[in-house]
Structure 1
Amino acid sequence: MKKNILLLLLFGFILSGTVFAQQKNIIGRDIGELKGIKISGRVTDQITGEALVGASVTVKELNKTEITNTNGNFLLELDRAEYNLEVRYVGYETVKYPFVAVGEGRISIRMIQEDFELDDVVIFGSDPEKNIRSTEMGAITLNMNTIRELPPFLGEVDIIRSMATLPGVSQVGEASAGLNVRGGGSDQNLILFAGAPIYNPTHLFGLFTAFNPDIVNNVTLYKAVIPAEFGGRGSSILDIVPKSGSLTKWGGDLMAGNFSGKLSLNGPIVKDRISAQMGLRGSYINWLLKSLNNPDLRTSQANFYDANGIVYGEINEKNNVTYSFYNSYDDFALASDTTISWKNQSHSLKYEGSFSEKTAIDILGYHTVYDYSIFNASGTNDFDLISGIKDTGLKVKFAYQFSDKNKFNIGADTKKLTINPGELIPNASTDSGLLPKKVQSEYGQESGVFFQHDLEFGEKIGVSYGLRYDNYQYLGQRAVKEYAENLPISPANVIGEKNYAEGEKIQSYDGFGPRASLRYSLDPKTSIKLGYNKMYQFIHLISNTATIAPTDIWKLSDQFLAPQIVDQISLGIYKNFRGNIFETSVEVYYKDIQNIVEYKDGANLILQNNLETEVIPGQGKAYGLELFVKKNLGRTTGWISYTYSRSLRRVISPFEEENINGGDWFPSNFDKPHDLTLIGNYKLSALISLSATFGYSTGRPVTFPEAKFDFAGNSLAYFNNRNLQRIPDFHRLDLSMNFKFKGKGKFYDGDWTFAVMNVYGRKNPFSLFFADQVGSPPQAFRLAILGVPLPTLSYSLKF
């Protein structure tokens, strides 16, 4: 009898435990609502309290997925019923949250990073079928968990180089700044950090990216059909979203490597209301320079730092404000007599609010400054050459959601630009013999209005279309040269000068930029997409190099130099295999580019008051095929990216002497027909992982001298046709191993990463230079940035 009673009690206990385990959370108060119940929520890291941006929140019963915004928030509109919520984010355990919706309420989801064998569990970091079901083309988002799995560059992960592993995106060399997207120049990319444009995104001429990865939440690249809210650049938008700090507890990250270190802190200023995120990164690379054999480099110095500050405040559940500050600084002293320095600084203030359940508003204001200088202290011709840009803007966007499948955005933006092209300041304390010179500043204003409409017709068809109207004005104060008609624009053909007062309109341009994409689903795992995009660009990078350099000149469109106009059409097919484990895509595109800036043969670009005499507009075209295969799950993950592309230029002038290559098409500086990237990550265990990156690309075009001649006792090289030769092909292998130690608070409790760049010591040429050889044309020699294997070791700690 006692035995039966014990069994009955045990059965009752198990049954009650089962019932208890199946209980659902009750959201809201029972006030009679049956439909249209608004459930808001926020997804955060359980340890640090940081918001998780881009997490997928799925209602299983409705097969409905929402993605968390920049503050980790999401909003669901449901009927009264029982539901099961699943929340997924890359590198975190999936959270299952059962609940009953009876009225408006809020859900708080806290996620913990995975710390177990990945072959026993399936984790998706976002909607696994978004690439199939969305109408987006050429939009790729990488969060920092994905980027951290790549081999580090000089000891730390690199945001810009991570984007260059994707199809259609490349760089011209190992230490190059900026990106080349689908045949466009580096100036055709608008790089936004917290909504503010950044003009030079690099440290040490491209060796490091100028963004602290510990401050970044995710990065989105738009390269095909760019949303209508973005304008001003011809090729792509790179939108970098920083983290907001934890509202509940203080924490941070620490990293120390061979060449740089960084520290970040975040936590609540007012608990559950206001948070702060701060980061500081700096270099100590001079020990490496002092160990080199080259005497000029051994006596050189290189320094950089960047700093971030983000303050996030919740007014209430429907309104919040974010202030972001960014500052970076570089200086490089070559052989102790010439110092090159540059800095970025930006401030942005963003308000996000909701008038109702269906209506939202974003207001963003920013101010960005980019300055560079060259200081020469040789003792004979000491001088300081300075230049810079100021960019101040405001953007307002309204969003209205008719339903989950019908969304509408409308808005406007405006910005004012001031460019100081250059000012030479001789050192007054030395008798340099140089005279001061200041190039006229430039002033411009860009404005735009836009709308975007996304809707779906059943399960098969999705459409996204938008229109942007851009208006640009080139403003005084400025003295403008007048040139004789029917003659080349040159100093010899100046016939007068006209002066414009401050704020007076000198020239204006405007135009409509439609954007549209159509998605047709062949089946739940396969879709075809077609897209068209038109962009206007009113600012140009005047340079005779292949990449962004601090001494390059930014130039506004004026009456001589029209804005670049880029038309692009894209077609792609997208398919997932084996339960979304494999993601594949094939895209083709064609671009037509008008008013590309090319420099004339023998152009003088430095301290040039009338650049219209040194440059000439041309045509451009680019086309390509992009293949992408990605494995999302399992012990082994990674992707294969292959691009075949061409980027060509042509300059035909009414005056034969201004034609380049006889008016024929010629390769651009960044034309690389074949580009292949292999990325592999392997989890040996929960604590040890391996990663590898292999890259191959066709060598970029260069111009070789065809002969030489003597002038005033000097032997000079003669160049004829442009960009008809190529440097050797690029290829390199990088490997890394990451160890996670659980030291229970001891000094080794953190992540150790050992990496080897350029494993087999490939001497990839970054550039070529030519030296005179008696009795023969000048001979070419290569300059390699990384000519030997380079090991790095870094340690990072989260606290």
Structure 2
Amino acid sequence: MNRIILLLIFLIGQGAWAQTTAPTKREVIGRDIGQLKGIKISGRIIDAISGEALIGATVTVPELDVTKITDNNGSFELILDRAEYTIQFRYVGYETIDYPITAVGDGRMSIRMLQEDFQLDDVVIFGRDPEKNIRSTDMGAINLNMNTIRELPPFLGEIDIVRSLATLPGVSQVGEASSGLNVRGGGVDQNLIQFAGAPIYNPSHMFGLFTAFNADVVNDVTLYKAVVPARFGGRSSAILDILPKAGSVDKWGGDLMLSNYSGKLSLNGPLIKDKVSILGGFRLSYINWFLNSLSNPTVKNSQANFYDGNLVISAPVSENNEFTYSYYTSYDDFAFASDTTISWKNTAHSLQWKSKLSSRLSLEALGYYSLYDYGIFNQSGINDFEIKSGIQDLGGKLFLGYNFNETNKIFFGGEFKQVKIQPGELVPTGAEQEILPQKVQDELGQEAGIHFQHEFELGEKFGFSYGIRYDTYRYLGPRTVRQYEETKPVSDGSAISETAFGEGEPIQTYNGLGPRASFRYSFSKSSSVKLGYNKMYQFIHLISNTATIAPTDVWKLSDNFLEPQIADQYSLGFYNNFKGNIFETSLEVYYKDLQNVVEYKDGATLIMQNHLETELIPAEGQAYGVELYVKKNLGRLTGWVSYTYSRTLRRVITPFEEENINNGEWYASNFDKPHDLTLIGNYKVSTNTSISATFAYNTGRPVTFPEAKFDYSGNNLAYFNSRNQQRIPDFHRLDFSVNFKLKGKGLFFDGDWTFSVLNVYGRKNPFSIFFDDAENAPPQALRLAILGVPLPSLSYSIKF
């Protein structure tokens, strides 16, 4: 198999080389007549203050109607005839530069761009090519810049990156206090969320009320939900890539934000003038005053705390080489009625080197270490205990890119990672204990992957992108593995023997070939159709009977019982821009086939379980949907409408009838919500005042209600028949905010004041359903609402 892959890559590379090395007629003429044609103008665009490369900036030659996009190093290249031109440089949030040149020979330029102060009304700067959604072969790639996110109503006074993505088609969350994203029928664990290249396992504060990323230190956010570039692997649904800002190499500055629930501060400046910059950010909550003011005695006696911090050191040692070190940490603890405390913590380090080895060849190398710790602490005074769990993720990546020309590029590379999981350790903490210490066996796995991708265009009509990724995975000892009777379901009672594997000894190996391809046909400069296919493998699973990430969930590696998840996705989309790109529209349909999805047996015990295979059942899944997106980019009123109709289904069929769920029929997954509608509006009242509103509606997610109850040894027990056959009430909510940009004489007043109201009309959207016993009747369903009343917030932010 490896030889076949290498041969395929070799043949593809040879074909690309044969296609591009022969000189074109234009190049030959240019050489023959003394550089009248084929003049190469290259350059790099950076932030004038920080020296940070501006990735995805647009470089336009209006006289030729040509637009180029800067690469990951901020570089661009133009091929011109000998003549006079005016080159336009544009990037969102920055002043547009018109640069007149006379092209008489090859040359290189360095462009420094300043941030726009946004003083003018009715002026919109396109930060990226406004026709990129039409011309690129990317399908399902969503890029949100921070200026767009800041226009949305803040959540409890904060700009929320993850919730902003959930306003887009095909992306949702299961409730108001839920962490993670559900992307096109995928679970929250099927998304790889990485910050500066390092994976983050729990991207939430306070069980999802806040996102664990400080927007003041974030530069760029990209979500891949359809055809994922071959460089990404390890998850079966989507990739969320978050890149940090770099500090200024010129002078010191910062941001301060205070609200009635949390506050944050960031500082940046030169460590070495014009050479090395540093950026630091810190955020913390003081929400306990709000909890203590509530009338519910249980909530009133609860305590919640969180903080997160960032440190970014950037060293652009030369025009072609840049080193970046990023540190990220977040911490949460929640004490429920001063009895049980739940805590979780993320820590991530990454070191990146970007290099432009030549005008055509670029390199990116990255190493990272990520740690996720989570635990439960019981301090009731009776049988006190602590349950500790954690994940260590250590890896490295290498990417290379080669540009034959502006319309013909290849990318290739590889990565390796090692994941160690401590599923759980029970430690008694009291003086007198009836609980015995217990430890679940650790898990160790290694993943490796190589990848290749080729992107090219044939004229203005056709664009192609195809790639392949080969993933291999090993499950390693030390571990004791059970063997079970083949004629019985896997359970404690069917275990017949055990095998002990030594440290580093292979227990199980999996590998897979993941092709990705997309095709674009342009009807005109304003409309196109795209077709895509994507196959991905996932070797880690979130074992949970809830619909969102919680600290009590268990992460599990694939082993000889639990096979890797495999997803095949097919996508078709139509894209059209109107009135000079003022309006941007898209219509996409997709179908996703899922294999080896994890489901749990009825009554499963997931915490402190040494043999999880006895509680789990492999399932198959399918997801399909239609996504509609309409966005208005220009004018006083901007915003978008997104609507998704989708279904996410599961089915469990095993050789043993007692293990089948719902008699082997298809049933809705925990996060199946057929209708999902979001309306976003932002109105600029004046140059210093804007109003924004968000309305969201979606179908209630599935739940399982008890259908009867019976008496067993004097205890009333609920009887459940079919899984996920009922739904909680539909979700809908209106949020509103007003932003004032004040320009006073004093430093304090030179900032932004934002007043917002969440849940304007006080909708009691259920976060979960629980049941209470009623005499002579089935258990009664009751709803738990997190935000059942309008919740105002006021925040003040300033740059200095």
> TM bucket by the smaller chain?
over 0.9
2:381 corresponds to 1:368: no
Query: CA 1:122–1:421 in 2, change beyond 3 Å: closer, same or farther?
Result: closer
Give me the whole-angstrom Cα distance separating, in 1, the residues matched to 2:270 and 2:317: 14
Give me the whole-angstrom Cα distance separating, in 1, the residues matched to 2:617 and 2:409: 43
Give me the whole-angstrom Cα distance separating, in 2, the residues matched to 1:80 and 1:105: 15
Specify the alignment match of 1:599 in structure 2: 600
Give me the whole-angstrom Cα distance separating, in 1, the residues matched to 2:557 and 2:787: 36
> What is the Cα deviation at residue 246 of structure 1?
1.3
Give me the whole-angstrom Cα distance separating, in 2, the residues matched to 1:61 and 1:421: 62
Query: CA 1:73–1:629 in 2, change beyond 3 Å: closer, same or farther?
Result: same
Residue type at the aligned position of 2:541: H
Specify the alignment match of 1:466 in structure 2: 467
Specify the alignment match of 1:39 in structure 2: 42
Structure 1 stretches of at least 4 aligned residues deviating more than 6 Å after TM superposition: 31-34
Give me the whole-angstrom Cα distance separating, in 1, the residues matched to 2:277 and 2:306: 27
Give me the whole-angstrom Cα distance separating, in 1, the residues matched to 2:660 and 2:339: 40
Aligned pairs for 1:163-562 (under 5 A) are: 163-427=165-429, 429-562=430-563
Give me the whole-angstrom Cα distance separating, in 2, the residues matched to 1:665 and 1:722: 10
Contact 1:43 1:55 in 2 (8 A): no
Secondary structure, in 3 states, of the residue corresponding to 1:289? helix
2:706 corresponds to 1:714: no
Give me the whole-angstrom Cα distance separating, in 2, the residues matched to 1:62 and 1:396: 36
Specify the alignment match of 2:62 in structure 1: 60
Query: CA 1:174–1:546 in 2, change beyond 3 Å: closer, same or farther?
Result: same
Residue type at the aligned position of 2:121: L
> What is the Cα deviation at residue 720 of structure 1?
1.2
Give me the whole-angstrom Cα distance separating, in 2, the residues matched to 1:769 and 1:134: 48
Specify the alignment match of 1:736 in structure 2: 737
Secondary structure, in 3 states, of the residue corresponding to 1:131? helix
Specify the alignment match of 2:9 in structure 1: none
Q: Deviations over 1:474-496 (max 9, x none)?
A: 00000001111121100001100
Q: Deviations over 1:523-544 (max 9, x none)?
A: 1211000000000011000000
1:105 aligned to which of 86, 104, 108: 108
2:143 corresponds to 1:137: no
> What is the Cα deviation at residue 112 of structure 1?
3.2
Residue type at the aligned position of 1:43: I
> What is the Cα deviation at residue 100 of structure 1?
3.5
Contact 1:45 1:51 in 2 (8 A): no
Residue type at the aligned position of 1:674: H
Specify the alignment match of 1:796 in structure 2: 797
More deviation, 704-713/201-210:
704-713
2:784 corresponds to 1:783: yes
Give me the whole-angstrom Cα distance separating, in 2, the residues matched to 1:636 and 1:238: 29
Query: CA 1:793–1:758 in 2, change beyond 3 Å: closer, same or farther?
Result: same
Secondary structure, in 3 states, of the residue corresponding to 1:486? coil
Unaligned stretches of 5+ residues in structure 2: 1-33
Give me the whole-angstrom Cα distance separating, in 1, the residues matched to 2:678 and 2:343: 33
Aligned pairs for 1:678-689 (under 5 A) are: 678-689=679-690
Secondary structure, in 3 states, of the residue corresponding to 1:604? coil
Give me the whole-angstrom Cα distance separating, in 1, the residues matched to 2:82 and 2:771: 76
CA RMSD in angstroms comes to 1.6
More deviation, 302-311/101-110:
101-110
More deviation, 242-251/152-161:
242-251
Q: Deviations over 1:90-141 (max 9, x none)?
A: 344422122335443332222332433433x353221010000000000010
Q: Deviations over 1:230-280 (max 9, x none)?
A: 001011000001101112111110000011000011111112211111100
Secondary structure, in 3 states, of the residue corresponding to 2:571? strand
Secondary structure, in 3 states, of the residue corresponding to 2:63? helix
Give me the whole-angstrom Cα distance separating, in 1, the residues matched to 2:96 and 2:652: 56
Give me the whole-angstrom Cα distance separating, in 1, the residues matched to 2:249 and 2:77: 19
Residue type at the aligned position of 2:164: S
Give me the whole-angstrom Cα distance separating, in 2, the residues matched to 1:34 and 1:90: 32
Contact 2:448 2:473 in 1 (8 A): yes
Contact 2:94 2:113 in 1 (8 A): no
Query: CA 1:33–1:348 in 2, change beyond 3 Å: closer, same or farther?
Result: farther
Aligned pairs for 1:648-797 (under 5 A) are: 648-797=649-798
Q: Deviations over 1:167-223 (max 9, x none)?
A: 000000001010000011000000010011000000000000000000001100000
Give me the whole-angstrom Cα distance separating, in 2, the residues matched to 1:501 and 1:598: 30
Give me the whole-angstrom Cα distance separating, in 1, the residues matched to 2:95 and 2:634: 13
> What is the Cα deviation at residue 74 of structure 1?
4.4
Q: Deviations over 1:406-438 (max 9, x none)?
A: 0000101110000000000001x4212000000
Residue type at the aligned position of 2:262: S
Query: CA 1:717–1:243 in 2, change beyond 3 Å: closer, same or farther?
Result: same
Contact 1:412 1:447 in 2 (8 A): yes
Contact 2:42 2:75 in 1 (8 A): no
Give me the whole-angstrom Cα distance separating, in 2, the residues matched to 1:637 and 1:71: 31
Give me the whole-angstrom Cα distance separating, in 1, the residues matched to 2:694 and 2:95: 27
Contact 2:35 2:82 in 1 (8 A): no
> What is the Cα deviation at residue 78 of structure 1?
5.2
Specify the alignment match of 2:26 in structure 1: none
> What is the Cα deviation at residue 747 of structure 1?
1.2
Secondary structure, in 3 states, of the residue corresponding to 2:207? helix
Query: CA 1:117–1:787 in 2, change beyond 3 Å: closer, same or farther?
Result: same
Query: CA 1:33–1:216 in 2, change beyond 3 Å: closer, same or farther?
Result: farther
Give me the whole-angstrom Cα distance separating, in 1, the residues matched to 2:199 and 2:80: 38
2:87 aligned to which of 57, 60, 85: 85
Give me the whole-angstrom Cα distance separating, in 2, the residues matched to 1:253 and 1:76: 37
Query: CA 1:72–1:691 in 2, change beyond 3 Å: closer, same or farther?
Result: farther
Specify the alignment match of 2:635 in structure 1: 634
Query: CA 1:242–1:66 in 2, change beyond 3 Å: closer, same or farther?
Result: farther
Give me the whole-angstrom Cα distance separating, in 2, the residues matched to 1:727 and 1:215: 37
Give me the whole-angstrom Cα distance separating, in 2, the residues matched to 1:375 and 1:464: 51
Give me the whole-angstrom Cα distance separating, in 1, the residues matched to 2:502 and 2:414: 28
Secondary structure, in 3 states, of the residue corresponding to 2:488? coil
Contact 1:632 1:638 in 2 (8 A): yes
> What is the Cα deviation at residue 764 of structure 1?
0.3
Specify the alignment match of 1:575 in structure 2: 576
Give me the whole-angstrom Cα distance separating, in 1, the residues matched to 2:36 and 2:442: 62
Specify the alignment match of 1:123 in structure 2: 125
Secondary structure, in 3 states, of the residue corresponding to 1:145? helix
Secondary structure, in 3 states, of the residue corresponding to 1:58? strand
Residue type at the aligned position of 1:107: S
Secondary structure, in 3 states, of the residue corresponding to 1:147? helix
* TM-score normalised to structure 2 length: 0.94
- What is the identity percentage for the equivalent residue pairs of Structure 1 and Structure 2? 66
Give me the whole-angstrom Cα distance separating, in 2, the residues matched to 1:159 and 1:534: 27
Contact 1:314 1:321 in 2 (8 A): yes
Residue type at the aligned position of 2:423: P
Give me the whole-angstrom Cα distance separating, in 1, the residues matched to 2:143 and 2:68: 15
Give me the whole-angstrom Cα distance separating, in 2, the residues matched to 1:562 and 1:551: 23
> What is the Cα deviation at residue 35 of structure 1?
4.6
Secondary structure, in 3 states, of the residue corresponding to 1:759? coil
> What is the Cα deviation at residue 62 of structure 1?
3.9
* TM-score normalised to structure 1 length: 0.94
Contact 2:755 2:794 in 1 (8 A): yes
Give me the whole-angstrom Cα distance separating, in 2, the residues matched to 1:96 and 1:745: 35
Give me the whole-angstrom Cα distance separating, in 2, the residues matched to 1:395 and 1:51: 21
Give me the whole-angstrom Cα distance separating, in 2, the residues matched to 1:613 and 1:152: 44
Contact 1:770 1:780 in 2 (8 A): yes
> What is the Cα deviation at residue 314 of structure 1?
1.3
Secondary structure, in 3 states, of the residue corresponding to 1:559? coil
How many equivalent pairs are there?
A: 766
Query: CA 1:80–1:503 in 2, change beyond 3 Å: closer, same or farther?
Result: farther
Contact 1:57 1:88 in 2 (8 A): yes
